[in-house]
Structure 1
Amino acid sequence: MNIKALSYYDTRLFFWLFRLTKNRSCRPIIWVSKTGDGYLYFVIGVALWAFEPDYGTLFLFTTLMAYSLELPIYIILKSTLRRPRPCDFLHNMTSHITPADKFSLPSGHTAAAWLMSTIVAYFYPPFWFIAYGWASMIGISRVLLGVHYPSDVLAGMTLGILIANFSLAILA
């Protein structure tokens, strides 16, 4: 399958998902998306460091290292690939939120969520389902809100998992 065909199906899937939110309140979806803004990761890391004696400190250091690697890679990818967001590129389309920047590939919210979820699942295996379910909801919320294509979310997920596993291989 060539790039044009992939882009066609990516756009079709985007429109199919985005139409699910047409004429509906998106407050719950916006709330889910906002949990991926970064503040929650900091709270989780500090709380585990302060109150969880077995792995809390290693968890915090692993996530700090992972995010210090993920953020510059994410910025380089976004500024190099420069894929316009669907809300800026597709005609007759308005997103439910105003994105923080102009480019969509990869999804930073999704990358950060999958990075955190992968590290949570490693250190606290009983919580893997909650962590990965939450990360999936953040990724889907970005499409439903009209600021990312499904492939942006897949790229973000891949980036988050790769950086998390790299960080875990070094520190854990």
Structure 2
Amino acid sequence: MTSLEFTDQVQKISYSLKPVAMNLTRDADDAKDLVQETLLKAMLNKDKFKTGTNLKAWLYTIMRNTFINNYNKITKRNSNIDSTEYFQYFNTDENYITHNGASSDFVVTDINAAIAGLPADYRTPFMMYYIGYKYLEIAEKLQIPIGTVKNRIHIARKELKQALKTYAPGV
């Protein structure tokens, strides 16, 4: 595929990226930025695209990964990490302080209890992932295979979802 053909196909597909970006960011300006960054990365890495594969899926993957990376950067930048046994997460940004102490105390207490109720093998990788570590970093730090890390985080999420189902929307 020539550069001109690649550019033409990317341009045609680019219109379908905006609704997906809007769904991810929930903000029109951020969605435009995300689409623009996605298209820039696609153009810079067009040599990595394999002809005959799904270009639209490739672009969606770039967009999703870009969004996740940006989100993780923002989350890491705005958080302080206390490396106690449970890797408690504290955020000192005034925008995140809740003013309804009664109901939020119950929720936080229930969440902390649910996390504390997880077996240590699941709790540790889950909390590391929650505070911003990547799968590979967790695997290296805990000296376990990356597949095991992913599996333990998945199981921890499932158990937390079950333990906190009373807070699910519509319940």
TM-score of the two chains, using structure 2 as the length reference: 0.36
- Relative contact order, CA 8 A, sep 6+: which one is greater? 1
Q: Whose radius of gyration is greater, 1 or 2?
A: 2
TM-score of the two chains, using structure 1 as the length reference: 0.36
